[in-house]
Amino acid sequence: MPNKTIYVSDKDLPLYARAQELAGGNLSKAITGALRRYVEAEEGRLEGYDEITVKVGVGPARKRRRQRFTGVKLGEWGRSDDKRAEIYKVYRSKSGKFVIHIERTPDWTWDTKEGGWKRHLGIGEQTWATTPEEGTLEVVGTLEELKAKIPAELYDMVAAGAEAPPVEDLDI
Q: What is the 3-state secondary structure (H, E, C) of the chain?
A: CCCCCCCCCHHHHHHHHHHHHHCCCCHHHHHHHHHHHHHHHHHHHHCCCEEEEEEEEECCHHHCEEEEEEEEEEEEEEEECCCCEEEEEEEEECCCCEEEEEEECCCEEEEECCCCHHHHHCCCCEEEEECCCEEEEEEECCHHHHHCCCCHHHHHHHHHHCCCCCCCCCCC
Share of the chain above pLDDT 90, in %: 44
Segment among 81-90, 126-135, 146-155 with least mean pLDDT: 126-135
The confidence score (pLDDT) of residue 112 equals 61
Same domain, 80 and 135: yes
Residue 4 lies in a domain: no
Cα–Cα distance measured from residue 11 to residue 35, given in angstroms and rounded to the nearest whole number: 20
Same domain, 34 and 59: no
The confidence score (pLDDT) of residue 114 equals 61
162, 99 Cβ separation under 8 angstroms: no
Same domain, 149 and 98: yes
State yes or no: pLDDT of 150 exceeds 70: yes
Phi, psi of 80 (to 5 degrees): -150, 160
State yes or no: pLDDT of 143 exceeds 90: yes
Residue 96 lies in a domain: yes
52, 98 Cβ separation under 8 angstroms: no
Same domain, 39 and 116: no
The total number of structural domains in the chain stands at 2
pTM for this structure? 0.71
State yes or no: pLDDT of 111 exceeds 80: no
Neighbours of 10 (CB within 10 A): 6
The confidence score (pLDDT) of residue 81 equals 85
Same domain, 105 and 156: yes
The confidence score (pLDDT) of residue 130 equals 81
Considering only CA atoms, which of 15, 9, 57, 53 is closest in space to residue 34?
Answer: 15
Share of the chain above pLDDT 70, in %: 90
Same domain, 41 and 57: no
Under the banding of pLDDT at 50, 70 and 90, the label for residue 90 is: very high
Under the banding of pLDDT at 50, 70 and 90, the label for residue 161 is: confident
Neighbours of 92 (CB within 10 A): 22
Tell me the per-residue pLDDT of 30-88, one tens digit each, with 9 for 90 and over.
899 889 988 888 888 888 888 899 999 998 878 889 999 999 999 999 998 878 899 99
State yes or no: pLDDT of 102 exceeds 90: yes
